[in-house]
């Protein structure tokens, strides 16, 4: 039976990770994988996480299942973080999921059950894994204009014109902040217009929040979520704690569906059913850590301080790269690097140039030109900028 299986290509980012690990060049630079790293290439554990884990180790007295929706405390704490303390609890069904990917998949399965004829619109470009997570359930996917290569910003006129033509059978996937892969974010005024169009046209906003706190701050990065939630009757929110809590390997996320109050229990039942058929019960550890941090004022303050430090570090990397490229004489206007938000931006490089960077200089990035700014440090900027100058002429 298994001999009929065909070989599949290695995931591009996972392949680059393997090549980077095996590369003996001491000057090698990794700009590929979307993980925060310090200047010495280490992904640290938050002190607040360590403290919450210590508390859990000392107080946990059972390993019984926590239920398909996760704990009410976790779900409440996350919704307060994302939507605000006054979130409409009577209209939102939320569940702890195995990471943001789990949240996206549960949400997609929910949409498929609600309307198998729905079309999900994603930004052009979007995070590559949106396609298999959403399309894998059988939903149709189309793209709306988003990234303007000339300005390295948002093509908002093209985006909003497309959204104005959508209706109740459409779902629009929006990045809450720190757009992956471009780093080009919507302004508050643009979120306001999207919210108004969503309310008028009746399409379902589906917001992916993976980087809250890594752009302009926890509240500023949630502006779009809160505006949409205040403007429409139905929406979906998928969130991840990988980046902003550093819980990558612990797989902590949440799916939340906002609907009419009299449909909440039906929605809880549907989400529970989907979870049961996919992974049955969510893992407890990471959710408990997040819950303890968000409900313990001293740990909340510690976490927020550490998160602000990571955000500042990424902005410093953006400034370093802009200055380094300009100093090395690389042609182009790199102001966008400090205007974009979060871990990612694009470099205007051809596939040939990217391949040459890898082969000749051990600089690793994906073929689209997307880079993880966390890989740019004071220790490697001169080498990195000189390498880019060499392949661009």
Two tokens at 15?
Answer: 């392949």
d(CA 192, CA 232): 12
64-85 mean pLDDT: 97
- pLDDT, one tens digit per residue, over 117-129 is 999 999 999 999 9
d(CA 120, CA 140): 6
Location of structure tokens 């509240």: 219
Q: For residue 290, give Cα distances in angstroms to 93, 199, 241, 312, 382.
A: 19, 33, 8, 22, 38
Q: For residue 92, give Cα distances in angstroms to 71, 301, 352.
A: 15, 27, 48
Contact in structure between 284 and 67 (CB atoms under 8 Å): no
pTM of the shown model:
0.95
d(CA 174, CA 188): 14
Q: For residue 236, give Cα distances in angstroms to 60, 69, 106, 222, 233.
A: 32, 16, 11, 14, 11
What are the residue numbers of the active site? 127, 208, 210, 243
Q: State residue 160's pLDDT score.
A: 98
d(CA 105, CA 124): 20
Confidence of residue 75 (pLDDT cuts 50, 70, 90): very high
Q: State residue 11's pLDDT score.
A: 79
Q: State residue 315's pLDDT score.
A: 95
Q: Is the pLDDT of residue 177 over 90?
A: yes
d(CA 348, CA 346): 6
3-state SS record for the chain: CHHHCCCCCCCHHHHHHHHHHHCCCCCCEECCCCCCCCCCCCCCCCHHHHHHHHHHHHHCCCCCCCCCCCCHHHHHHHHHHHCCCCCCCCCEEEEEEEHHHHHHHHHHHHHHHHCCCCEEEEEECCCCCHHHHHHCCCCEEEEEECEECCCCEECHHHHHHHHCCCCCCEEEEEECCCCCCCCCCCCHHHHHHHHHHHHHHCCEEEEEECCCCCCCCHHHHCHHHHHHHHHCCCEEEEEECCCCCCCCCCCEEEEEEECCHHHHHHHHHHHHHHHHHHCCCCCCHHHHHHHHHHHCHHHHHHHHHHHHHHHHHHHHHHHHHHHHHHHHCCCCCCCHHHHCCCCEEECCCCHHHHHHHHHHHCEECCCCCEEEHHHCCCCCHHHHHHHHHHHHC
Please, which residues bridge with residue 148 across strands?
153
Q: Is the pLDDT of residue 16 over 90?
A: no
- pLDDT, one tens digit per residue, over 76-99 is 999 999 999 999 999 999 999 999
Contact in structure between 282 and 106 (CB atoms under 8 Å): no
Total residue length of the chain: 393
d(CA 36, CA 314): 9
308-334 mean pLDDT: 96
Q: Report strand pairing: 235-240 vs 252-258.
A: antiparallel
Q: Is the pLDDT of residue 221 over 90?
A: yes
Average pLDDT, the chain: 96
Report all structural domains of the chain as residue ranges with CATH numbers, in order of start.
9-46+300-392 (3.90.1150.10), 65-295 (3.40.640.10)
């Amino acid at each position: 039976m298994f001999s009929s299986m065909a070989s599949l290509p290695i995931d591009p980012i996972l392949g680059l990770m393997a090549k980077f690990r095996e590369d003996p060049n001491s000057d090698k630079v990794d700009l590929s994988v979307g993980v925060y790293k310090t200047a010495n290439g280490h992904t640290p554990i938050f002190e607040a996480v360590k403290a919450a884990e210590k508390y859990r180790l000392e107080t946990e007295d059972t390993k019984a299942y926590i239920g398909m929706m996760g704990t009410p405390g976790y779900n409440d704490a996350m919704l307060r973080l994302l939507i605000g303390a006054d979130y409409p609890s009577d209209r939102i069904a939320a569940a702890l999921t195995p990471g943001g990917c789990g949240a996206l998949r549960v949400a997609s399965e929910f949409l498929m059950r609600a309307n198998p004829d729905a079309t999900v619109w994603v930004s052009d470009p979007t995070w590559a894994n949106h396609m298999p997570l959403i399309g894998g359930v059988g939903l149709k996917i189309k793209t709306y204009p988003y990234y303007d290569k000339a300005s390295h910003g948002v093509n908002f006129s093209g985006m909003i014109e497309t959204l104005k033509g959508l209706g109740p059978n459409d779902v629009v996937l929006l990045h809450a902040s720190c757009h992956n892969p471009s780093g080009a974010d919507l302004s508050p005024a643009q979120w306001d217009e999207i919210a108004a169009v969503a309310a008028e046209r009746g399409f379902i906003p589906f917001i992916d929040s993976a980087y809250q706190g890594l752009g302009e701050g926890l509240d500023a990065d949630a502006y779009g979520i809160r505006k949409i939630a205040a403007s429409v009757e139905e929406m979906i929110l998928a969130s991840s704690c990988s980046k902003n809590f550093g819980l990558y390997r612990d797989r902590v996320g949440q799916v939340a569906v906002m609907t009419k109050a009299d449909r909440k229990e039906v929605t809880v039942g549907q989400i529970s059913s989907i979870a049961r058929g996919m992974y049955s019960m969510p893992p407890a550890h990471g959710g408990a850590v997040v819950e303890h941090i968000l409900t313990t004022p001293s740990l909340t303050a510690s976490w927020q301080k550490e998160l602000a430090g990571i955000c500042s570090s990424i902005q410093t990397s953006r400034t370093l790269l802009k200055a380094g490229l300009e100093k090395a004489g690389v042609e182009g206007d790199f102001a966008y690097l400090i205007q974009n938000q979060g871990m990612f931006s694009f470099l205007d490089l051809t596939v040939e140039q990217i391949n040459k960077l890898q082969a000749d200089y051990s600089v690793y990035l994906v073929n689209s030109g997307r880079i993880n700014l966390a890989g740019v440090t004071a220790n490697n900027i001169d080498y990195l900028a000189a390498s880019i100058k060499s392949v661009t002429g």
